[in-house]
């Protein structure tokens, strides 16, 4: 993509020749600058601000690659969300900056008075993802004349948030979409959510299971939830047989097969023959035998496998699905009443927009290609074995939820990379104190600059600096001169663009609650500015989390970059430019605002008891605070301590749906349908 590469380069450093504004930024150092300065006096600043557009930002940040059809940039240079994907009409696009203003402006100016960071959810996007997945399978099934249907489940572990799970059950009930649970708490929440779902929706019980888990799953069947207990370990079978007899429930059983097909990427480390989950061929045969002996072989109805997340290509997918389909057919031959093939998760997300099969954060296929590969692989094997086509189930997690929520955080400050202005007396200081060698370096540096030999410039600048540092250590160079040479070197490297100073933008990311995947497993997410995208990002930066001082740093970005093109920091909170949230028409309504944890919540997680702490501090105050005024102040503050917002956790979850402007005009107060503020 040469056009893109060009944009990236342009954002980082203006092309040499334009950038080297030596003549204007450096006071003419008389003793050496006998030669006239270069005539190309085009100012670097003019170049940086001209020739930029929202579409160049879109290309620079690869928005179409990872964000289409849900994210784009509008003509004002703001990020917009397209809640209905490709079916979104222009007037339905949601301007993210307006949302953030609405959320963060104080209440008197019609805002919600919330603090950043915010997680903003778009239920419409979630709905669109679910429907797109369903229709991709529906299409593949119809196009190929496949003899059964697709019926997916959502693996709760991918986002256990109540509103996400409830929404999925609600939006998916028209096509019998179900849930997958991997632990007792997940099973509990899945059971209660599915009470409102379609009666056909599957409730797949995966994960390590003890007697309580199995007991709960059997109870779920009694409640007429379409529950399948998937054996992940051979030991689970005896528990299932015994408990189901005790409870007099006929269970529906699945087996998780350990496939030989191996996904070699990061997320596939548990796949393959040596993977830690699932039953081997031998174990599956023993399970069949035990079930047969207990008269329960008809209970075995589902075959499950999971190759790993981010399956890189449809070739690997088809390989795995084909292998599993063979096992499925063998189970049919052995007499099980097989009905469903559950292909697990792994439908990948193209986080960097590169459509590449060689990266953990990208995949080389789209939804339609994924569905077609699965349907074709199952159909091919079953047709050859004359086995009735099974219901195809998948457990796509990230593919369903990833696009629908975004974390918005604010750059609070930025480390300034100051090129110290070379004061007119800086140079004389420098020049006066230089040794003969230093003078020669300085002269050579200047000559190289005139000739446009930038590498040579850097070389001499560096040499000069080293010499001066040595002199300073010996005591023969003053601190002003040392500063002057630093300034000169910075100026040279900045002008050449070679040092490409990367700034640190301080952000409140609440890293421990919002991006654990980043530091935990190196997962990269697309990160971009949500406004000023009509301006050229003139600097590069990394992000450093204010709320934690060691690991809270983001210095890896999509595209293999170690810094992010950013706009020069403006210390006004960043959202200026334009008035309050009431500006212009809105096409959205905030339907829910949920605060993050308080200090008390956070303390309780680690078994501290905020109420006891309060008592301890109160006793301390009674003992040591005697001034009446101080007593009043302290006693007023103590009770609110547990309710204080935490710096690392005051994430606010906002939910947005698209609303027609005409509805919003009816009553302004209906903007906020349901708000819980702190
Ligand atoms: C994690 C997991 C999933 C979801 O994987 P995605 O890559 O998010 O689709 C599905 N099934 C099982 C068993 C899992 O462990």
Q: How confident is the model at residue 438 (pLDDT cuts 50, 70, 90)?
A: confident
CATH number of the domain bearing residue 377: 3.20.20.10
Work out the mean pLDDT of the chain and round it to a whole number: 80
Pairing of strands 253-256, 300-304: parallel
How remote is the CA of residue 345 from the centroid of ligand 1, in Å? 4
Which sequence positions are flagged as catalytic?
548
Q: What is the pLDDT of residue 551?
A: 60
Range of the domain at 538: 502-566
Residues 428 and 513 placed together within one structural domain of the fold? no
Q: How confident is the model at residue 22 (pLDDT cuts 50, 70, 90)?
A: very low
User: What residues are in contact with ligand 1 under a 6 Å CB criterion?
Assistant: 155, 157-158, 206, 306, 309, 344-347, 395-399
Question: Which residue would you say has higher pLDDT here, 414 or 37?
Answer: 414
Tell me whether residue 12 is in a domain: no
Which of 155, 254, 255 has most ligand 1 atoms within 8 Å of CB, for mutation?
Answer: 155
Tell me whether residue 128 is in a domain: yes
Has residue 368 got a pLDDT over 90? Answer: yes
Has residue 521 got a pLDDT over 70? Answer: no
Residues 623 and 598 placed together within one structural domain of the fold? yes
Q: What is the mean pLDDT of residues 392-414?
A: 88
Tell me whether residue 106 is in a domain: no
Has residue 10 got a pLDDT over 50? Answer: no
> In the listed set 367, 401, 435, which residue is the last one of a domain according to the structure?
401
Residues 491 and 506 placed together within one structural domain of the fold? no
Q: What is the pLDDT of residue 408?
A: 82
Q: How confident is the model at residue 326 (pLDDT cuts 50, 70, 90)?
A: very high
Express as a percent the part of the chain with pLDDT over 70. 78
Identify which of 469, 472, 475, 449 has the alpha carbon closest to the alpha carbon of residue 460.
Answer: 449
Residues 259 and 318 placed together within one structural domain of the fold? yes
Has residue 234 got a pLDDT over 80? Answer: yes
Q: What is the pLDDT of residue 145?
A: 98
Q: What is the pLDDT of residue 621?
A: 86
Tell me whether residue 380 is in a domain: yes
Cβ-in-10-Å burial (0-12, 13-18, 19+) of 214 comes to buried
Residues 484 and 585 placed together within one structural domain of the fold? no
For 648-658, how does the pLDDT look when each residue is reduced to its tens digit (9 = 90+)? 444 455 555 54
Residues 300 and 392 placed together within one structural domain of the fold? yes
Which of 304, 324, 395 has most ligand 1 atoms within 8 Å of CB, for mutation?
Answer: 395
Tell me whether residue 246 is in a domain: yes
Q: What is the mean pLDDT of residues 135-149?
A: 98
Residues 373 and 428 placed together within one structural domain of the fold? no
Q: Which long-range contacts (CB under 8 A, 24 or more apart) does 291-298 make?
A: 291/237, 291/241, 291/253, 291/336, 292/335, 294/241, 296/241, 296/244, 296/251, 296/253, 297/334, 297/335, 297/336, 297/337, 298/336, 298/337
Tell me whether residue 41 is in a domain: no
Express as a percent the part of the chain with pLDDT over 90. 42
Nearest CA, atom 5, ligand 1: 345
How remote is the CA of residue 180 from the centroid of ligand 1, in Å? 9
Has residue 674 got a pLDDT over 50? Answer: no
- On whether the CB atoms of residues 374 and 140 are closer than 8 A, the answer is yes
Residues 272 and 218 placed together within one structural domain of the fold? yes
Q: What is the pLDDT of residue 329?
A: 97
Question: Which residue would you say has higher pLDDT here, 465 or 520?
Answer: 465
Residues 158 and 238 placed together within one structural domain of the fold? yes
Residues 205 and 310 placed together within one structural domain of the fold? yes
> In the listed set 495, 524, 542, which residue is the last one of a domain according to the structure?
495
Q: What is the pLDDT of residue 191?
A: 96
Q: Give CA–CA dist 468/438, Å, rounded.
A: 7
Q: Give CA–CA dist 466/481, Å, rounded.
A: 13
Tell me whether residue 15 is in a domain: no
Has residue 529 got a pLDDT over 60? Answer: yes
Residues 446 and 531 placed together within one structural domain of the fold? no
Q: What is the pLDDT of residue 163?
A: 87
Q: Give how many domains the chain has, as a whole number.
A: 4
Range with the poorest average pLDDT among 193-197, 267-271, 409-413: 267-271
Residues 455 and 596 placed together within one structural domain of the fold? no
Q: How confident is the model at residue 427 (pLDDT cuts 50, 70, 90)?
A: low
Q: What is the mean pLDDT of residues 299-325?
A: 95
Q: Give CA–CA dist 486/523, Å, rounded.
A: 38
Question: Which residue would you say has higher pLDDT here, 395 or 26?
Answer: 395
Tell me whether residue 601 is in a domain: yes
> In the listed set 370, 401, 432, which residue is the last one of a domain according to the structure?
401
């Amino acid at each position: 993509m040469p056009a893109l590469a060009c944009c990236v380069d342009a954002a980082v450093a203006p092309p040499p020749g334009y950038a080297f504004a030596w003549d204007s930024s450096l006071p003419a150092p008389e003793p050496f600058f006998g030669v006239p300065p270069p005539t190309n006096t085009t100012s670097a600043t003019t170049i940086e601000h001209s020739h930029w557009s929202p579409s160049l930002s879109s290309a620079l940040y690869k928005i179409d690659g990872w964000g289409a059809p849900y994210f784009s940039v509008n003509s004002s240079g703001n990020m917009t969300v397209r809640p209905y994907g490709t079916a979104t009409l222009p007037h339905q696009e949601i301007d993210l900056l307006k949302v953030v203003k609405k959320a963060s402006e104080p209440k008197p100016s019609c805002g919600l008075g919330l603090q950043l960071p915010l997680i903003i959810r778009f239920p419409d996007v979630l709905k669109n993802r679910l429907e797109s997945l369903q229709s991709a399978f529906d299409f593949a099934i119809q196009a190929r004349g496949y003899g059964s249907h697709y019926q997916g489940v959502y693996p709760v572990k991918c986002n256990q948030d109540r509103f996400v799970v409830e929404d999925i059950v609600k939006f998916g009930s028209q096509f019998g979409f179900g849930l997958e649970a991997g632990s007792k708490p997940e099973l509990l929440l899945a059971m209660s959510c599915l009470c409102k779902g379609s009666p056909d929706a599957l409730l797949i019980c995966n994960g390590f299971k003890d007697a309580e888990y199995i007991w709960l799953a059997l109870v779920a069947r009694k409640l007429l939830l379409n529950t399948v207990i998937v054996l992940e370990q051979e030991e689970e079978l005896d528990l299932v047989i015994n408990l189901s007899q005790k409870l007099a429930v006929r269970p529906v059983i699945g087996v998780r097969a350990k496939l030989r097909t191996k996904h070699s990427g990061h997320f596939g480390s548990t796949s393959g023959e040596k993977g830690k989950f699932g039953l081997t061929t031998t174990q599956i045969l023993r399970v069949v035998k035990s079930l047969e002996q207990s008269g329960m072989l008809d209970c075995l109805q589902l075959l499950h496998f999971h190759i790993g997340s981010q399956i890189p290509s449809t070739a690997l997918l088809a390989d795995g699905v084909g292998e599993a389909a063979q096992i499925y057919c063998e189970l049919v031959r052995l007499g099980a009443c097989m009905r469903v093939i559950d292909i697990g998760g792994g439908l990948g997300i193209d986080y960097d927009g590169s459509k590449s099969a060689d990266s953990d954060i990208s995949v080389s296929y789209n939804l339609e290609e994924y569905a077609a590969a699965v349907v074709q692989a199952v159909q091919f094997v079953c047709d050859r074995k004359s086995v009735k086509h099974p219901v195809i189930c998948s457990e796509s997690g990230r593919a369903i939820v990833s696009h629908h929520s975004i974390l918005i955080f604010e750059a609070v400050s930025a480390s300034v990379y100051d090129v110290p202005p070379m004061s007119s007396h800086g140079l004389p200081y420098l020049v006066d104190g230089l040794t003969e060698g230093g003078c020669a370096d300085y002269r050579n540096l200047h000559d190289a600059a005139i000739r446009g030999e930038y590498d040579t410039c850097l070389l001499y600048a560096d040499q000069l600096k080293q010499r001066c540092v040595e002199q300073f250590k010996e005591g023969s160079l003053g601190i002003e001169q040392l500063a002057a040479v630093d300034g000169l070197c910075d100026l040279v490297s900045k002008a050449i663009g070679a040092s490409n100073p990367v700034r640190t933008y301080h952000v409140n990311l609440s890293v421990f609650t919002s991006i654990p995947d980043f530091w935990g497993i190196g997962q990269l997410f697309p990160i971009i500015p949500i406004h000023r995208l009509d301006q050229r990002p003139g600097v590069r930066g990394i992000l450093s989390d204010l709320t934690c001082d060691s690991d809270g740093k983001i210095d890896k970005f999509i595209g293999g970059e170690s810094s992010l093109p950013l706009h020069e920091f403006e210390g006004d909170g960043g959202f200026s430019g334009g008035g309050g949230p009431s500006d212009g028409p809105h096409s959205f309504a905030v339907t829910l605002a949920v605060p993050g944890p308080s200090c008390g919540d956070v303390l309780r997680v680690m078994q501290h008891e905020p109420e006891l702490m309060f008592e301890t501090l109160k006793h301390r105050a009674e003992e040591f605070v005697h001034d009446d005024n101080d007593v009043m102040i302290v006693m007023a503050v103590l009770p609110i301590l547990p309710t204080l917002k935490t710096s690392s956790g005051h994430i606010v979850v906002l939910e947005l749906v698209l609303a027609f402007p005409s509805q919003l005009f009816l009553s302004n107060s209906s903007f906020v349908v349901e708000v819980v503020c702190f």
